[in-house]
């Protein structure tokens, strides 16, 4: 699918340096490849987000992957002193939001070109608001999977009363096999320990009740499977948890779900935050990290705003600067490429 020639709708950068919602900004160069054509509102929303991210982080370098005229609008909207922090990889083809994930097998699409930039060492991480399935497919093809990780997971962090709660999978795989859920429990524990510095993470399996035997066949089979495995970072499995734990965090720091259930839950929570929170800085970034592939990959919500894209870029920079992928893989005892 070829993207139509976009209109000249690139917004001007926000004055000052505004910190993206929910993500710390640290020093250190971070080179982020940005898929300009990914998402419902692309390219205008992505351009807005990239401008916001550049304004907030003086050590950020962007590789804009998309039509040169779109990238040119973004560069032209930056202050002269910031323009040398932006480079362009011209690409015009895109995997559309309604296209099959297999469209990401085409090497001439923006998402594959962004993945290639990371694989080749031209970028430290990539961000796309395009179709999740296509981004996951492109990342697996171009970056490879960690040893022992058959199904990478999309990991989201949500604010809860007791601290951040890690929710996975939120859309990378709809598979609910016990082995997959157990592997994701280990991924989530390592992510919580590395990214959020949670000591001895408590891991729960999302179900419709907390009593043993609750839930569908997949949850009933996965419960003892997870309980029997050794988790990293001295994490402990606390058993079945219900959906309200995502907003409370009283009993679990990590909540494991299959990608279908996790995605539905995440979007419901995002809608509630959007409706109830007046201060946009208090809302969680609508972005998730793909854990289990050989690089830092951030997937933003397809309906992301400019602020969401900026937070996704900030999250990518944060994970790179923290060398999070290497630390998580080390905790799991796997090769990460």
Residue ranges of the domains in the chain? 27-149+292-323, 150-281
Distance from C-alpha of 224 to C-alpha of 229, rounded to nearest angstrom: 9
- Helix, strand, or coil (residue 289): strand
The pLDDT score that the predictor gives to residue 274 is 67
Mean pLDDT by 10 residues, the chain (337 residues): 39 42 76 95 93 94 95 91 93 87 87 96 96 94 93 94 92 91 96 95 95 90 94 94 90 96 90 64 75 96 91 96 94 81
To the question of domain 27-149+292-323 being in CATH 3.20.20.10, the answer is no
Contact 166, 255 (CB under 8 A): yes
Q: What letter would DSSP give residue 28?
A: S
Nearest to 297 by CA among 194, 148, 152, 158: 152
Task: Name the CATH topology of 150-281.
Answer: Isopropylmalate Dehydrogenase (3.40.718)
Beta carbons within 10 angstroms of residue 135's beta carbon: 31
The pLDDT score that the predictor gives to residue 71 is 92
Contact 213, 220 (CB under 8 A): yes
27-149+292-323 and 150-281 agree in CATH topology: yes
Q: What are phi and psi of 242, to 5 degrees?
A: -100, 170
Burial of 279 (0-12, 13-18, 19+ CB in 10 A): exposed
The pLDDT score that the predictor gives to residue 13 is 38
């Amino acid at each position: 699918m070829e993207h139509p020639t976009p209109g000249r709708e690139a917004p001007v950068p926000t004055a000052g340096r505004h910190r993206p919602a929910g993500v710390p900004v640290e020093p250190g160069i971070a080179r982020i490849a940005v898929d300009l054509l990914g998402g419902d509102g692309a390219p205008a929303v992505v351009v807005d987000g990239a401008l916001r991210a550049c304004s907030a982080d003086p050590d950020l370098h962007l590789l804009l992957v998309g039509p040169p005229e779109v990238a040119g609008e973004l560069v032209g909207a930056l202050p002269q002193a910031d323009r040398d922090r932006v480079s362009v990889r011209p690409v015009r083809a895109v995997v559309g939001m309604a296209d099959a994930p297999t469209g990401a097998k085409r090497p001439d699409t923006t998402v594959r070109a962004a993945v290639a930039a990371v694989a080749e060492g031209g970028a430290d991480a990539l961000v796309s608001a395009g179709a999740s399935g296509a981004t996951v497919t492109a990342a697996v093809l171009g970056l490879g999977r960690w040893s022992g990780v058959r199904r990478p997971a999309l990991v989201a962090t949500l604010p809860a009363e007791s601290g951040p709660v890690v929710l996975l999978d939120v859309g990378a795989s709809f598979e609910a096999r016990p082995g997959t859920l157990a592997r994701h429990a280990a991924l989530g524990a390592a992510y919580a320990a590395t990214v959020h510095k949670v000591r001895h993470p408590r891991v729960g399996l999302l179900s419709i009740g907390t009593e043993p035997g609750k839930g569908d066949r997949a949850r009933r089979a996965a419960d003892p499977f997870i309980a029997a495995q050794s988790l990293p970072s001295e994490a402990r499995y606390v058993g079945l948890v219900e959906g309200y734990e995502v907003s409370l965090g009283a009993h679990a720091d990590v909540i494991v779900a299959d990608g279908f259930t996790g995605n539905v839950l995440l979007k419901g929570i995002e809608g509630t935050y959007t409706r109830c929170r007046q201060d946009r800085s208090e809302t969680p970034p609508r972005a998730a990290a793909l854990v289990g592939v050989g690089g830092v990959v951030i997937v933003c919500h397809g309906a992301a705003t400019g602020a969401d894209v900026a937070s996704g870029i900030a999250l990518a920079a944060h994970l790179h600067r923290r060398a999070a992928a290497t630390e998580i893989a080390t905790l799991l005892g796997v090769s990460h490429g």
